[in-house]
Amino acid sequence: MTSAGLDVDWNLVRTFVSVSETGSLAAAARQLGFAHPTVARHIQQLESQLGLPLFERTASGLKANDAGERLAVVATRMRKDAMTFESVTAAVKTTSTGKVRVTIAELLVDLMPEMLISLKDFSGQNDRQIELLISHKQLNLLEGEADIAIRHARPSQSELVCRRVGGMPMGAYASADYLREHGQPNLKNLTEHWFVDGMTEQPFSMAVARLGCSVPQNRVAFRADSLRAQLRAAQSGWGIAGLPGYVGEAAGLQQVLTDAPAHVTDIWVVARPGVRQQMLLHLVFQCLCEALYDRFAAQPRRTESPNALKPAASG
């Protein structure tokens, strides 16, 4: 119960309601499971904080005065709401229904439906919704923008629950048709080739620059901020694209620039603190951790060598 300049402890209000209903400190103590002096102290503290008496002391016990009766009506509603809150909290902790929002960059998004398949339930007994928020921005889990994030660096917010589950190989890929027409690319002949990269950011060009080489911007034939569009451009022969290994291989592309140092980007599963109490959130977190671990745990930790080929995208 709060107003300007007033912050009252709910425990005191709960004791006040019990005393109002029972008419005595002793009866309220039995109802609440408190010691008699504790109940008396609670009433004294509440009256002191409110700055007004709430009871008249009579020979038969305590009787709420006018102020006490008016406040008891409101406090009784508060107790009912608190009991509802507690019951809903208990249900949230034990239910496997509800909605979980997972924020993820495009690097891993194609794997998510299959990895979460064990949570699919069409029996009608579980009302579950999984939402994927595809974004390169790091949404704030603590502010409720999402429930779980797949990221490629350990989060700095210590309140979050996080687990490194492996590493994802990255590489440069091109189509067989492109290679037949333009030959095999390597770090020495890059200026003779064509490339696919982003628009607002150029992650592939930046990665090549970290190798001490450069991608001439007039040789970037196709630009798109969508990983899916970059993949299709590489398949269509527009040029060389930087892709996750599993994406390039599944698309039938050939890995090139194999003379460059290999790079593996970390994969972290991150959740807001409620993952420890809410069953569905915990189930999704565990499911993602296990599925990603099974697929990518064999990869070593990323090295921060300046010669490593690093992607710029993150979830």
Distance between CA 201 and CA 195 in Å, rounded? Answer: 14
Q: Domain check: are 179 and 142 in the same one?
A: no
Q: Domain check: are 68 and 9 in the same one?
A: yes
241 in any annotated domain:
yes
183 in any annotated domain:
yes
Q: Would you put residue 78 in left (φ > 0), alpha (ψ -120 to 50) or beta?
A: alpha
Q: Domain check: are 27 and 14 in the same one?
A: yes
Angle at 285 between CA 282 and CA 290, to 5 degrees: 120
Q: Domain check: are 139 and 278 in the same one?
A: yes
Q: Which is more confidently placed, 227 or 79?
A: 227
- Residue ranges making up the domain that contains 179: 168-263
Partner residues linked to 133 by β-bridges = 103
Which of these, 93, 98, 89, lies nearest to 278 by C-alpha position?
A: 93
Q: What is the pLDDT of residues 245-275, one digit of tens each?
A: 999 999 999 999 998 888 888 999 999 988 8
* Angle of helix 25-32 versus helix 36-50 axis, rounded to 10: 110
Q: Which is more confidently placed, 306 or 211?
A: 211
Q: Domain check: are 231 and 123 in the same one?
A: no
Q: What is the pLDDT of residues 271-292, one digit of tens each?
A: 998 888 888 899 999 999 999 9
DSSP for 106-135, written as a single string: HHHHTTHHHHTGGG---SSS--EEEEEEE-
pTM, 2 dp: 0.63
Q: Domain check: are 78 and 217 in the same one?
A: no
Domain boundary among 79, 94, 109: 94
313 in any annotated domain:
no
Number of independent structural domains in the chain? 3
Q: Domain check: are 255 and 176 in the same one?
A: yes
The CATH code of the domain that includes 289 is 3.40.190.10
18 in any annotated domain:
yes
Q: What is the pLDDT of residues 152-194, one digit of tens each?
A: 888 888 889 999 999 999 999 999 999 999 999 999 999 999 9
**Between β-strands 55-58 and 61-64, what pairing exists: parallel, antiparallel or unpaired?**
antiparallel
Mean pLDDT, range 130-159, rounded to an integer: 88
Domain boundary among 53, 71, 94: 94
| Percent of the chain surpassing pLDDT 90 | 42
